[in-house]
Structure 1
Amino acid sequence: MVDFKDAAFGAGHDHIFLGVGHEKNERKTWAVIALCSAMMLVEIVGGSMFGSLALVADGLHMSTHAGAMLIAALAYSYARKHATDSRFVFGTGKLGDLAGFTSAIVLAMIALLIGYEAASRFLSPVPIHFGEAIPIAAVGLFVNLASVWLLNGGDHDHGHDDHAHEEEVQKIFALADRGGYLESKEDIPQPHAFKAIVRMPDGEFGVEFEEHEHHDDADEAATRDHNIGAAYIHVMADAAVSVLAIIGLVLARAFGWLWMDALAGIIGALVIANWSYGLMRDTGAILLDMNCDRRMAENVRHAIEDLGDKVVDLHVWRVGPGHMSAVVSVATDETQRDSRFYHAVLGRFMGLSHVTVEVQPLQTAA
C-alpha cells in the first residue's frame, strides 16, 4: 500500500513562501522610487528652465533608474497581495526571482548602451561641458549612495530571532505515542541551540541540539532575496558609473584627455555586465527549479536512510527566500512507519517549509 501525505512546515497549507523581510524590503524599494522620482523631476524641470541639456539627460537617466526599482516594488506588492491565491500552486515566493531575472536583462541592456556610447566617443570625441557634467555626476552619486543606504537600511537581518540570546528557559512538553515515534502535543520553539531531557520509564536521556553558523554558499543561495538584491545591484551599478564618470571627467579636464571619459564608460559597462550575468545565472537557476541547496538534500536523505530505510526518489527545490520544498519517496520494511513518521523526522530542518512524502514497502521498491 502506498501512503501519501503532504504538509508545509512553518507555512501551513496556505503555501505562503515569502521572505522574512518581504514587507520591509517592499517599503525600502518604494522609498528609493520616491527619492529617484523627486530627483528626476528636479533635474528635468531645472534643466528645462536653465537650458541645460546635460541636466535634462541625467533626469531622463534617473527615470530609467526609477523604472527598474518599480519592477522590484510591483513584484513585492503582487506577491504579497496574491500570496494566498490558489492559482499559484507553490505560492508567489519565486516572483521576486522573476523580477530579479528581468532586472538582470535590463542591466545587460544598459551595459550594452553604455559600451556602445563609449566606443562611439573613442572614434568620434565630442566636446564635454565640464562645468555642468561634473556637478551632475556628483549629484547622481549622492542620490545613488542615498538609495544604497535606504535599501540596506543599516541592518543585517539574517532571519534569526532575538529570543535566541535570551536567558535559559526551562519548559516541560508532553509527548504522545504515535505508534513508532513520539510527538510533542504542542509546538516546540526552535532556538539556535538547546538541551532536552527526555524522561522515559527506564530513565532520563539527554539530547543536545546546536545550530551552526550559516555562512556557506548553499545557505545564502537558499535564503537570498533576489528582488531586493537586483534593486541593490541597480543602485550600486549607477554609483559605480558615477564614480568612474567623475574620475574620467576630472582627468579629462585636468590633462585634456577626452578619451578618459570614454574609457570610464567602457569600464563601467563591463562592471555592470558582470553583475548582470551573476544575477541572471542565480535567478535563472531558481526559476528552472535547480537545487540551490545540495546540503539540504543530503541532510534529508541521511535523516531517512540513517533509520535503515531507503530513499527511492528525492527532489528538493526553492519556492521562496528561505523556503525549500521536498518530494520524497521512501521504501521501508517497517510497517508501523507511515508518512506522519517521516514528516516528524524532517520537521526539524529549518527552511524545509513544504514536504510531500510517499511511503512504499521495501520489497515493492526493489
Structure 2
Amino acid sequence: MSNQPPQSSVCKTADQLQHPHDFGQGQKRKAEQRATLVTLLTLMTMLVEVAAGVITGSMALLADGIHMAGHAMALGLAALAYYLSRKHAHDRRLSLGSGKIADLAAYTSALILGLSTLWLIYESVDRIITPAELMPREAMIVAVIGLAVNLVSALLLAGKHEHGHSHGDHEHHHDSNLSAALVHVLADALTSVAAIVGLGAAMLWGWTWVDPAIALVASVIILRWSWGLLRQTTSVLLDREGPDEIRRAARKLLQKNGDTDIIDLHIWSVGQGSWTLVAAVVAHGSTTPEEYRASLRSLRNLHHPIIEVSYCRQCALARKAG
C-alpha cells in the first residue's frame, strides 16, 4: 500500500505560504469615484462651451470646449482604468497584477492631451493670421462658468491624496492615473483663464488678436505638462527601477543582520502605489529566504518579493571547523 497521502489533502506549510496575487489593486479607490464625478461635470460643461464658442465666435472658448471633449474622454478612461484594475486584480493571466492598466490609461491621456494641444496651436496661429468676428461679452459668461467647473473638478481630484510619501514607514508611491486626470483638468482651467483674459482685452480695447495669442501661450504650457506625464508613465510601463529611497530602505532591511552581501537588486512598480522586488544575496550566516522576506514586511506596498540566497562556502566551512 502506498504511503503517499491522499491527493485531496493539503500540505499545511504550502497552505500557510499562500499569498494574494492582486498586488494591492483589488480594492476600490476613492480616486475612482472622484474621477467618475469629474468626468460627468466635464461632459456637461464641454457641451455648453462648444455651443457657445460656435455662436459667439470665440476661438479660445471653442478651444476650451474642444479640449474638454478630449479631457472628458481621458477622464472617463481614468475612471474605467480603476474599474478594470479592480475587476482583473485576481486574473492570474496577468503575471504581475492589473495595476499597470491605470498607468496605460494615464499614458493614453497624455497622448490625447498632447495631440489636442497641437490642434489648438494650429488653430490659434491661423486665427492670429486671419482674424474672425468675436462676441466677447457672451463668450465671457461661459468662459467664467467653465473656469469655475474646472476649479471644482481640480479640488475634487486633489481631495485627500491616497498617494504619498512617508519617511517613517518608507511608503513611496504615486498614482499616475489620478495625476493624468488632474493635469487634464488643470489644462482646462488654464485655457479657461486664457479665454477670459483674451475676451477681456477684446471687450476693453478691441484687441481680438489677444484671444488666440493667449491660447497659443497656454498651449505651450500644456504641452510641457503632457510631455512630463508621458515621461513619467513611460518609465512605469517600461519597468524602470523604483525610487532611490525605497531601494535604500530595502538594502538596509536585507543587510540588517550584518552577514549579507547584496549582489543584485531590482525594484519596480506593478501599479498604482505598488512595488515588487527581486534580489540575489550572499549569506555569510544561515539566514533563510523566508527570513529575508520577513525582514521586508515593514516596507508598505511591497508585494511578492523574491529572494535568491547563495551561502558563502568559506563561511560554512569555518563554522564546521569551529
Could you tell me the TM-score, scaled by structure 2's length?
A: 0.81
Return the match for 2:278 from 305, 309, 327: 327
Matched letter for residue 272 of structure 2 = P
Once residues 190 and 169 of structure 2 are traced to their aligned partners in structure 1, the CA distance between those partners, rounded to angstroms, is 32
Aligned to 1:116: 122
Confirm whether residue 52 of structure 1 aligns to residue 8 of structure 2: no
1:28-52 deviation line (CA, Å, top 9, x unaligned): 11111222233345567x769xx93
Matched letter for residue 106 of structure 2 = G
> What displacement does 1:68 show?
1.6
Matched letter for residue 21 of structure 2 = D
Aligned to 2:24: 17
Give the SS at the match of 1:14.
coil
Confirm whether residue 314 of structure 1 aligns to residue 321 of structure 2: no
> What displacement does 1:158 show?
5.2
Alpha-carbon distance change, 290 to 159 in structure 1, aligned in 2, over 3 angstroms: closer
Once residues 53 and 251 of structure 1 are traced to their aligned partners in structure 2, the CA distance between those partners, rounded to angstroms, is 16
Q: Which 5+ residue runs of structure 1 have no aligned equivalent?
A: 1-5, 161-191, 193-210
Confirm whether residue 225 of structure 1 aligns to residue 175 of structure 2: yes
Once residues 65 and 196 of structure 2 are traced to their aligned partners in structure 1, the CA distance between those partners, rounded to angstroms, is 17
> What displacement does 1:303 show?
2.9
Give the SS at the match of 1:326.
strand
> What displacement does 1:333 show?
3.2
Once residues 312 and 97 of structure 1 are traced to their aligned partners in structure 2, the CA distance between those partners, rounded to angstroms, is 30
Alpha-carbon distance change, 65 to 322 in structure 1, aligned in 2, over 3 angstroms: closer
> What displacement does 1:313 show?
1.4
Give the SS at the match of 1:13.
coil
Once residues 216 and 45 of structure 2 are traced to their aligned partners in structure 1, the CA distance between those partners, rounded to angstroms, is 26
Alpha-carbon distance change, 323 to 245 in structure 1, aligned in 2, over 3 angstroms: same
Aligned to 1:347: 297
Matched letter for residue 273 of structure 2 = G
1:278-306 deviation line (CA, Å, top 9, x unaligned): 11111111111111312222222233335
Aligned to 2:231: 281
> What displacement does 1:338 show?
1.4
> What displacement does 1:76 show?
0.9
Aligned to 2:217: 267
Do the aligned partners of 2:267 and 2:278 also contact (CA within 8 Å) in 1? Answer: yes
Alpha-carbon distance change, 60 to 272 in structure 1, aligned in 2, over 3 angstroms: closer
Confirm whether residue 107 of structure 1 aligns to residue 113 of structure 2: yes
Do the aligned partners of 1:84 and 1:91 also contact (CA within 8 Å) in 2? Answer: yes
Do the aligned partners of 1:54 and 1:132 also contact (CA within 8 Å) in 2? Answer: no
Could you tell me the TM-score, scaled by structure 1's length?
A: 0.72
Structure 1 stretch 70-79 or stretch 347-356: which is displaced more?
Answer: 347-356
Aligned to 2:33: 27
Matched letter for residue 302 of structure 1 = K
Once residues 300 and 281 of structure 1 are traced to their aligned partners in structure 2, the CA distance between those partners, rounded to angstroms, is 25
Give the SS at the match of 2:262.
strand
1:154-200 deviation line (CA, Å, top 9, x unaligned): x345579xxxxxxxxxxxxxxxxxxxxxxxxxxxxxxx9xxxxxxxx
Aligned to 2:308: 358
Alpha-carbon distance change, 288 to 83 in structure 1, aligned in 2, over 3 angstroms: same
> What displacement does 1:16 show?
3.1
Matched letter for residue 321 of structure 1 = Q
Do the aligned partners of 1:17 and 1:92 also contact (CA within 8 Å) in 2? Answer: no
Once residues 256 and 78 of structure 1 are traced to their aligned partners in structure 2, the CA distance between those partners, rounded to angstroms, is 50
Return the match for 2:135 from 121, 124, 129: 129
Do the aligned partners of 2:70 and 2:112 also contact (CA within 8 Å) in 1? Answer: no
Alpha-carbon distance change, 251 to 42 in structure 1, aligned in 2, over 3 angstroms: closer
Alpha-carbon distance change, 24 to 242 in structure 1, aligned in 2, over 3 angstroms: same
Matched letter for residue 333 of structure 1 = H
Confirm whether residue 78 of structure 1 aligns to residue 84 of structure 2: yes
> What displacement does 1:354 show?
2.4
Q: Higher RCO, 1 or 2 (CA under 8 Å, sep at least 6)?
A: 1
Count residues with an aligned counterpart.
295
Match runs of 1:141-220 below 5 Å:
141-153=147-159, 155-157=160-162, 212=168
Do the aligned partners of 2:154 and 2:185 also contact (CA within 8 Å) in 1? Answer: yes
Confirm whether residue 68 of structure 1 aligns to residue 74 of structure 2: yes
Once residues 158 and 79 of structure 1 are traced to their aligned partners in structure 2, the CA distance between those partners, rounded to angstroms, is 17
Once residues 94 and 30 of structure 1 are traced to their aligned partners in structure 2, the CA distance between those partners, rounded to angstroms, is 19
Do the aligned partners of 2:23 and 2:303 also contact (CA within 8 Å) in 1? Answer: no
Question: Percent identity, aligned pairs only?
Answer: 36
Give the SS at the match of 2:121.
helix
Give the SS at the match of 1:12.
coil
> What displacement does 1:148 show?
1.6
> What displacement does 1:118 show?
1.2
Once residues 136 and 71 of structure 1 are traced to their aligned partners in structure 2, the CA distance between those partners, rounded to angstroms, is 26
Aligned to 2:7: none
